[in-house]
Structure 1
Amino acid sequence: MLNQTEIATPTAARRKDSLGCLSNQLHKDLEREAGDFTFYRKCRRQDNTSEVATPASDRGVLIGVSLSAGHRRRIISGSRSAMHEFDKDSVYIRNFEDDYRADLHGAFDFVLVEFSRAFIANTGYERSGTNIAGFSARPGSKDPIFGHLAQVLALALDRESEASPLFIEQLGVAIGTHLVDRYGSAPAQSIKPGRRLLSSLHEARAKDMLLAKTEGNVSLEEIANACNLSRSYFIRAFRETTHRTPHQWLLEQRIERARHLLRSSDSSLSEIAIACGFADQSHFTRTFTQLVGTPPGSWRRRAGN
């Protein structure tokens, strides 16, 4: 499950957050936890300057993606410092093993994901057959893939009631996989894994667990553990076996159940929405229209009910 902390107004009780930001200067401060991931949204409207400082720790790795242009930050390392400009889709990577100091200049709007060391180690091994030695990315460099994923994640965090924990967790896996593939440094002799499929037993078990919780709040970690697989291996194997991500597959099953209820019952659209695991009728209508091509009310009339 995702835990939520949202701070929309200044507070004197919490001066600095877990990333070293001054919380009472933030217009938006969102934090969600999901197993190996912690998701953040940090937004400041004021055009002022502040300092961020965090000591070295064993927390893992952080990727930050800028949702807007105009931010600058001076990153300080020992006696050296460098100013970096952040445009929309610009990124930076922080390894929590190192002390971090930076002066933040101007307004900013960032989506950030913190990954545990276990996730980075497991993903590196599964992607390249070796451990990740570190990450190489110049602060402020642009990455359109991260930019696109960050926009989707920002919307999901802002509208959590319509985004299942499963979907947000999959976004974390997608961002972490791209981080490892694009920026992770590994030995040249790393071994590329071949195609991986779920066994029929694991495929059936995974589908049963996805369907068992109507609200969709089963986590990928729970399913992967039940199959004795790591989360990233499970997601890749599920996709290669079914040609769908777990979230896509579950949405299709919900829509198929909704079609059955639309044809065979007199239940209202709002009742069908809840029965099929959607947040409300509006969420159901949007999803149904996107996947089927027509609103559920129109589809029901054409089906003869």
Structure 2
Amino acid sequence: MTPKRGNHRVRSPKTKRTETPRYGADGRRVHGRRGRDNRAPCGLAWHRERPCDPGMYSWSGVRSGRRLNVVHIVTNAHQSRTAGIWANTEVEVIEYGELQDVARPIGSKRVSLRAALRETGGRIEARHKPSKPLADGYRGSDHLSLIERGGEAYGHTPFIRSFRCVAIHFDDALLAEACGTANGAELFHSRLMFENKPIWAITDRLALECVTPRFGQRLCCESLIGLLAVELARLGTPAPRQPCKGGLAPFRLRRILDYIEANLGDNIAITELAALAEVSLPHFMRAFRTSTGEAPLRFIMQRRVTRATRLLVETSTPLSKIAHECGFADQAHMTTCFRRIAGNTPARIRRERT
């Protein structure tokens, strides 16, 4: 019994528990109770990547207040795949099960388009590098990704329960016919995580025709693939301007466009453009959008991106100097505008063209 002293119990000293140290095959000491040999290093928890290779394990846990994650690059994570070839273009409808910390290569030897059709219990996104997310991209569940011929891209997800997508690998001859040039496939460059409702609707219909064979399937799929090729070819080309009611007069519009091109390297104020057109500022904003299809500021930014792209391809001028010559605040501002408008970065564009 524990002896008492006054109104308090006196606890008897406890015997310090000792444990015989154990050592693993690598000579390091193994901590923990007996029978727990299959433990992750430094107390980290093992978990199985169920949708991937059954023998593949990864580890994640907490060390020094930081969560550690290992991203696995897998190539056979799909649960079901339906494929067909029409107009020498391969179409794949792929269903994925549960994925966690997985990056899958989605590049191809051909120009390919991938469309997310359904995301359940998570989100998946396209990246240029497995462990480097895009700084700016479309966040909707109906995102599209265009990957150039032989380009590098990965589909990454921290966790998702199920995912359905369609991948279209275009024939070079079809793209050349859609672009009207012999080397049409070389005009397509990678553009990840962007939004385009008409193109997404076509890919959704194409996926439905692929998985539900019916009479007329070949003709329907070939028509949809051809329409997709034309839409992608026109993706970076502005629509021809048609005279419309409520826009600027042709001579005033030409005066404004010439002024913008001549002063892209300077700060262009909208009030200056309105005064040059000899109309009020609100009327100028409405009329300019009606005539060009874009707001004045966005139109100016698109012209700056176009000029900077030409300098990136044709010259070896440093990026900071190109940003200054094209009217951007600095190199970081130019990179942000390129991601929003061109879906790519200046450094990557220069690296791809050299």
**Which of the pair is proportionally richer in helix?**
1
Short-chain TM bin: 0.3 to 0.5
Highest RCO, 1 vs 2 (Cα 8 Å, sep ≥ 6):
1
Larger Rg: 2
